[in-house]
């Protein structure tokens, strides 16, 4: 659906997943630039997450991030 807002992110514990990052909706979230506080679907905990891309993550991390999307988890 909102594919263009999908972003690969990494939590403080090192888990990687994909989440929807909508700039216009960010007023409702705790936001610190490219970091924010949200639920991690991999470790099932709340953590500070940051956006990752090829400049600050390995291709392996990006591949794993693409396999887990928080919207797909009930």
Q: What secondary structure does DSSP assign to 18-30, as a single string?
A: EEE--GGGGGGS-
Contact 50, 31 (CB under 8 A): no
Q: Which is nearer to Zn ion, 13 or 53 (CB)?
A: 13
Q: Which residues bind Zn ion (CB under 5 A)?
A: 11, 13, 15, 40, 42-43
Q: Which of 1/68 has CB closer to Zn ion? A: 68
In the complex with Zn ion, the residue whose CB is nearer, 31 or 39, is 39
The minimum distance between CB 24 and Zn ion, in angstroms, equals: 26
Contact 49, 15 (CB under 8 A): no
């Amino acid at each position: 659906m909102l594919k263009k807002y999908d972003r690969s992110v990494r939590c403080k514990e090192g888990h990687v997943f994909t989440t929807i990052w909508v700039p216009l909706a960010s007023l409702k979230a705790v936001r610190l630039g490219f970091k924010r506080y949200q639920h991690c679907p991999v470790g099932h905990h709340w953590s500070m997450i940051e956006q990752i891309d090829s400049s600050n993550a390995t291709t392996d991390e990006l591949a794993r991030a693409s396999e887990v999307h928080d919207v797909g988890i009930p």
